[in-house]
Amino acid sequence: MSKMMSIIGFLLLSIIPPTHAIDTISSNQILRYNQTIISPQETFELGFFNPRNSTNHYVGIWYKKISTKSIVWVANRNTPLTHTSGELTLTLQGVLLLRDSTNGKVVWSTVNSSSNSSSRNPIGKLLDTGNFIIYEEGDNIHQEDPIWQSSDFLTDTLLPGMKLGWDKITGIEKHFTSWKSDDDPAYGEFSSGVDTRGYPQLMIREGHNIKFRAGPWNGLRLSGVSNLRPNPVFNFTFVVNQREAYYQYNLVNASILMRLVLQPSGRLVRLVWIDGKQEWNPIVIRQNELCDQYAVCGPFGSCNMDKSPVCECLEGFEPTSFDQWKTTDWSQGCRHTIPLDCNPGEGFNKYSNLKLPDTQGSWYNQTMTLVECENMCKRNCSCSAYTNSNTSGTGSGCLLWFGDLIDIRTVAENGDTLYIRLSASELDSIENSRGSNARRKVWVIVPITFVVSVILVSICLFHRFYRKKQQQEGNEPRRHLENRNGNEDIELPLFYFSTILKATNNFSVNNKLGEGGYGPVYKGVLEDGHEIAVKRLAKTSTQGINEFKNEVISISKLQHRNLVKLLGCCIEGAEKMLIYEYMSNKGLDLFIFDKTRSHLLDWSARYSIINGIARGLLYLHHDSRLRIIHRDLKVSNILLDADMNPKISDFGMAKIFKGNQIEANTNRVVGTYGYMAPEYAGDGLFSIKSDVYSFGVLLLEIMSGEKNRGFIHKEHYNNLIGHAWGLHNEGKSLQLVDKSLAESINISQVQRLIHVGLLCVQRFPEDRPNITSVIMMLGSEGPLHPPNEPGFYIGKTKQDATESSNSYETSSNNELTVTILNGR
Ligand SMILES: *[C@@H]1O[C@H](CO)[C@@H](O)[C@H](O)[C@H]1NC(C)=O
Ligand SMILES: *[C@@H]1O[C@H](CO)[C@@H](O)[C@H](O)[C@H]1NC(C)=O
Ligand SMILES: *[C@@H]1O[C@H](CO)[C@@H](O)[C@H](O)[C@H]1NC(C)=O
Ligand SMILES: *[C@@H]1O[C@H](CO)[C@@H](O)[C@H](O)[C@H]1NC(C)=O
Ligand SMILES: *[C@@H]1O[C@H](CO)[C@@H](O)[C@H](O)[C@H]1NC(C)=O
Ligand SMILES: *[C@@H]1O[C@H](CO)[C@@H](O)[C@H](O)[C@H]1NC(C)=O
Ligand SMILES: *[C@@H]1O[C@H](CO)[C@@H](O)[C@H](O)[C@H]1NC(C)=O
Ligand SMILES: *[C@@H]1O[C@H](CO)[C@@H](O)[C@H](O)[C@H]1NC(C)=O
Ligand SMILES: *[C@@H]1O[C@H](CO)[C@@H](O)[C@H](O)[C@H]1NC(C)=O
């Protein structure tokens, strides 16, 4: 019968006149290739399209007004037409059909998704919201509750006002799925939607696995996206009630074009159209940190990007397997230090600034109070934690967890509070230790810069005091000093000036290794045979004093096998010196940029050097107690020990960041051309991502044996980065590799490393991976995102260098660390 009807419908079809824009299609019309439906305000357009590099044809919706064709919805994403003879029709029953007119076959239809109220006079209409609806003509009410609408079947884009989530009445679940690739709208790997197995939460999945959990709504924001704040451009909300559970965002100024897209790579980006630039600008939603990886720390583990290692057990918990935990295998997570036994004395400990754990299997009631919530949790021994479901205002509602708590994260601010069940004795011991820690806590909140200056001052004061005492006793200074001013131990031994004079043969020219950022560097041999490198601050340098202090502060507390080790200092009268372990193979530049010595570093040696540098940088950025931005990472600042282990050196330019600071601005740009990220060289903006940029340059230099700055390609005048980018895009990245590596290379490793290098030198800092991701990429074999255009890839030189710095001697001196004073 219905077949009969559609045949009749087919016979009645007329062709849409191609002359003027229409916003509707009625049941007697047919839409062909090159014909479109346009929304009333001409915001959106519906019609046939074919993706850039594809021979397939689809029906879709895109923005009408902008130059770049940006598809927001695709009808037949999995069943493309291979030619242009498609016909889109609306049947009398209100079903939209896409037919292949060469054989009459239906390639796509809404038949399985329409509610089956047989309609009498259906109309299809494209709205200015980007939604295409099919409704019963003549009654505007029906537009509110259409027979079918495209926004119930999202593709990869969520537009303002559209709902992402569940309609419990109709049973429709709206989620969006990435395209397979930029050229293929078929279902990709990634999907995003609201999970309602428990208190509703937003997540991104890769296949069936959870990739990233944006978390439950706490009345103000999504618990896992604490950095998403109220802003003047769009507002967002999450509705949970009897009927629906959905996420939605709305534009404050409707004339802005914005879309939320799940890209083929799995990245969720919010894009804003910039008319002036005629391009979509991304507002990236953070989801690429190690801690964003689902359940990275296992049950009852908490992930904290400011800690080293990132995983720790919550208070009252200990690693389930100490051995595995030590090897950073956190999969088994943590367990109660004192197991629970359902004793009535059990209670709850309060934890703050968390991303709430996975709410699958949780229970909630939106009207209960916190006290009722606690009682409810306490009564049920399998209830492991509770909190308010709505933190807005004074807090309301009840959210209960049962069993393991998974995917918790500790954040610096805007985190949530969670009450976790602990045994009575555990609660007692926490109570006791809080008492004795009270004083310590006061100390911790003193700003770190202040702590650092106190340390520095006390080094010097203590040094004087101690030296006098030592001289009276006639001993060499003790190696370990304790700073009595706080709880900090600094292990910074002091050397007599006379010891250094002897070791360096009175600073003999023969012992000179090179010129550092603030003075010469000498080799020395202590009486016990230990070899040292001595950095001597030039007496006349005033700028040097700051760098000297900076270096002491930065490095005195750092201990890592890929950082050069500070053995001590020497301060006597006007003399100021830093004493380092001596690196017998000196600078990496002496190998890779030297035509004869480059043969000494084969592929596996370079590979392990690159990995070592990355680990050193990881320690600086994330694993040490301070977050340090090196700011002058370059080949000549990488030293090699006797076993060719790389060590990062020269912390004269380094900056220490406070706990959650991620970016800073300086009007004194220091660094080395060729290694400086565009936003840093240009705007003085530095962050861990500007170090990552330098790391990327370094990586490409190590692979190619060429200097980024010195390199100018004969044909296209690109520098090394530009050359690498070009070769990569042509699939010829192997050509970049240093010829002296010859047969030693591992082709897949080489290609992967060049790819990672290009990801690090991407123009926009937000595109660059952090060093944690870099290490994961280096050590794994999964697919990598394609890199975007790099920064500074046309060879560009500026000659206003004012200062030079290399750790040890360099083969040539054209690589200067420069200081630019930005007039601002
Ligand atoms: C669509 O329009 C383009 C340009 O006007 C024309 O080249 C093409 O042949 C048309 N295609 C169809 C199927 O009508
Ligand atoms: C897509 O087409 C562009 C321009 O024709 C071309 O540069 C690019 O390499 C193509 N990409 C793929 C993946 O085929
Ligand atoms: C509609 O659903 C039925 C049964 O689930 C299925 O056999 C049929 O292929 C579907 N039709 C379309 C056009 O998806
Ligand atoms: C759809 O049709 C079936 C059978 O014809 C009927 O049982 C069902 O109630 C209808 N659903 C709606 C939403 O009208
Ligand atoms: C968001 O903004 C829109 C448009 O200004 C407004 O209609 C809506 O009420 C706002 N929603 C919330 C939750 O503030
Ligand atoms: C909305 O944005 C447009 C374009 O940016 C601007 O011209 C207009 O004044 C804005 N309207 C409001 C109410 O802010
Ligand atoms: C939520 O709790 C309130 C107060 O305890 C109670 O009246 C209500 O029935 C509960 N609702 C549900 C859905 O359990
Ligand atoms: C405790 O909660 C779990 C999960 O909701 C439930 O299955 C169990 O019956 C409850 N036990 C008691 C004693 O209420
Ligand atoms: C959350 O709390 C605020 C402030 O009390 C209230 O306005 C809002 O309606 C609550 N939200 C829900 C979903 O209960």
Same domain, 105 and 222: no
Q: Which atom of ligand 6 is nearest to the CA of 256?
A: 2
Asked if residue 779 has its Cβ within 6 Å of ligand 9, the reply is: no
Same domain, 133 and 185: no
Q: How confident is the model at residue 823 (pLDDT cuts 50, 70, 90)?
A: very low
pLDDT at 461: 39
pLDDT at 405: 97
pLDDT at 808: 52
The CB density around residue 223, as the number of other CB atoms within 10 Å, is 27
How many whole angstroms from 126 Cα to the centroid of ligand 4? 27
Same domain, 455 and 502: yes
Q: How confident is the model at residue 447 (pLDDT cuts 50, 70, 90)?
A: very low
In the block, residue with structure tokens 């309301």: 396
pLDDT at residue 799 tops 80: no
More confident residue, 55 or 663: 55
* CATH number of the CATH domain containing 178: 2.90.10
Q: How many helices (H) and strands (E) does the chain have?
A: 15, 50
| Last residue in a domain, options 540, 558, 581 | 581
pLDDT at residue 93 tops 50: yes
**626-663: b or e for each residue (b if 16 or more CB lie within 10 Å)?**
bbbbbbbbbbbbbbbbeebbbbbbbbbbbbbbeeeebe
Cα distance between residue 136 and residue 140, in whole Å: 8
How many whole angstroms from 502 Cα to the centroid of ligand 5? 75
What values do phi and psi take at 318, rounded to 5?
-140, 160
Least confident among 78-82, 488-492, 663-667, 707-711: 488-492
pLDDT at residue 338 tops 80: yes
pLDDT in tens, 621-652: 887 777 888 888 889 889 998 888 999 988 77
pLDDT in tens, 250-307: 998 888 899 999 999 998 888 989 888 888 988 766 667 788 899 999 999 999 988 8
Asked if residue 68 has its Cβ within 6 Å of ligand 1, the reply is: no
pLDDT at 117: 56
pLDDT at residue 691 tops 80: yes
| Last residue in a domain, options 153, 178, 204 | 153
CB-neighbour burial class of residue 801 (10 A; exposed 0-12, middle 13-18, buried 19+): middle
pLDDT in tens, 712-738: 665 666 788 888 998 999 988 888 888
Same domain, 129 and 226: no
Range of the domain at 741: 589-821
pLDDT at 743: 77
pLDDT at 42: 93
Least confident among 304-318, 660-674, 777-791: 660-674
pLDDT at 662: 63
Q: How confident is the model at residue 465 (pLDDT cuts 50, 70, 90)?
A: very low
Cα distance between residue 250 and residue 112, in whole Å: 30
Taking alpha carbons only, the member of 332, 299, 301 closest to residue 314 is 301
Q: Which atom of ligand 2 is nearest to the CA of 53?
A: 1
> Average pLDDT in the 355-363 region?
96
Average pLDDT, the chain: 81
* CATH number of the CATH domain containing 573: 3.30.200.20
Asked if residue 242 has its Cβ within 6 Å of ligand 4, the reply is: no
More confident residue, 311 or 475: 311
Which residue's CA is the nearest one to ligand 3's atom 6?
A: 112
**Which of 111, 114, 115, 116 is the best mutation target for the ligand 4 pocket, counting ligand atoms within 8 Å of the beta carbon and taking the most?**
116
Max Cα distance, the chain (Å): 112
Same domain, 559 and 476: yes
Same domain, 757 and 608: yes
Query: What SS3 state is found at 712?
Result: coil
pLDDT at residue 796 tops 50: no
Cα distance between residue 699 and residue 692, in whole Å: 10
Same domain, 689 and 741: yes
Taking alpha carbons only, the member of 451, 434, 511 closest to residue 487 is 451
pLDDT at residue 175 tops 70: yes
Asked if residue 109 has its Cβ within 6 Å of ligand 3, the reply is: yes
Taking alpha carbons only, the member of 278, 237, 240 closest to residue 68 is 278
Which residue's CA is the nearest one to ligand 6's atom 13?
A: 253
The yes-or-no answer on residue 632 being catalytic is yes
Of 150-164, 459-473, 625-639, which one has max mean pLDDT? 150-164
Cα distance between residue 477 and residue 459, in whole Å: 13
% residues pLDDT > 90 (the chain):
42
Same domain, 739 and 618: yes
pLDDT at residue 401 tops 70: yes
pLDDT in tens, 577-623: 888 889 888 889 888 888 888 888 888 899 999 999 999 999 888 87
Phi-psi region for residue 282, left (φ > 0), alpha (ψ -120 to 50) or beta? Answer: beta
Asked if residue 367 has its Cβ within 6 Å of ligand 7, the reply is: yes
Shortest-distance ligand to the CA of residue 116: 4
pLDDT at residue 477 tops 90: no
Q: In the sheet where 44-49 sits, what is the strand order? A: 37-38, 44-49, 58-63, 71-74
Asked if residue 52 has its Cβ within 6 Å of ligand 2, the reply is: yes
Asked if residue 237 has its Cβ within 6 Å of ligand 5, the reply is: yes
Taking alpha carbons only, the member of 612, 658, 688 closest to residue 289 is 688
Cα distance between residue 765 and residue 691, in whole Å: 10
pLDDT at 467: 44
> Under a CB-based contact definition with an 8 Å cutoff, are residues 729 and 697 in contact?
no
**Helices 688-704 and 747-760, axial angle in degrees (round to 10):** 140
pLDDT at residue 176 tops 90: yes
Query: What SS3 state is found at 423?
Result: coil
Shortest-distance ligand to the CA of residue 57: 1
| Domain count within the chain | 5
pLDDT at 657: 74
Cα distance between residue 160 and residue 162, in whole Å: 6
Same domain, 574 and 596: no
pTM, to two decimals: 0.59
Of 172-176, 412-416, 457-461, which one has max mean pLDDT? 172-176
pLDDT in tens, 550-578: 677 667 777 888 998 888 888 777 788 88
Q: CB within 8 A of 297, min separation 6: which ones?
A: 303, 310, 311, 312, 330, 333, 334, 408
**325-344: b or e for each residue (b if 16 or more CB lie within 10 Å)?**
beeeebeebbbbbbebeeee
Q: How confident is the model at residue 707 (pLDDT cuts 50, 70, 90)?
A: confident
pLDDT at 722: 86
> Average pLDDT in the 86-112 region?
89
Shortest-distance ligand to the CA of residue 181: 2
How many whole angstroms from 197 Cα to the centroid of ligand 7? 19
* CATH number of the CATH domain containing 692: 1.10.510.10
> Average pLDDT in the 666-694 region?
78
- ω into 17 cis (within 30 of 0): no
> Under a CB-based contact definition with an 8 Å cutoff, are residues 398 and 368 in contact?
yes
pLDDT at residue 9 tops 70: no
Q: How confident is the model at residue 544 (pLDDT cuts 50, 70, 90)?
A: low
pLDDT at 402: 96
| Last residue in a domain, options 288, 323, 351 | 288
Least confident among 8-12, 157-161, 197-201, 227-231: 8-12
pLDDT at 617: 92
Catalytic residue among 589, 632, 738, 767: 632
Amino acid, res. 612:
G
**Which of 129, 236, 248, 250 is the best mutation target for the ligand 5 pocket, counting ligand atoms within 8 Å of the beta carbon and taking the most?**
250
Same domain, 138 and 15: yes
pLDDT at 14: 47
% residues pLDDT > 70 (the chain):
79
pLDDT at 197: 92
pLDDT at 486: 32
More confident residue, 283 or 513: 513
pLDDT at residue 395 tops 80: yes
Which residue's CA is the nearest one to ligand 9's atom 6?
A: 392
Q: CB within 8 A of 307, min separation 6: which ones?
A: 410
How many whole angstroms from 381 Cα to the centroid of ligand 8? 8
Asked if residue 84 has its Cβ within 6 Å of ligand 1, the reply is: yes
pLDDT at 106: 92
Same domain, 261 and 347: no
pLDDT at 824: 32
**Which of 43, 253, 275, 281 is the best mutation target for the ligand 6 pocket, counting ligand atoms within 8 Å of the beta carbon and taking the most?**
253
Same domain, 216 and 255: yes
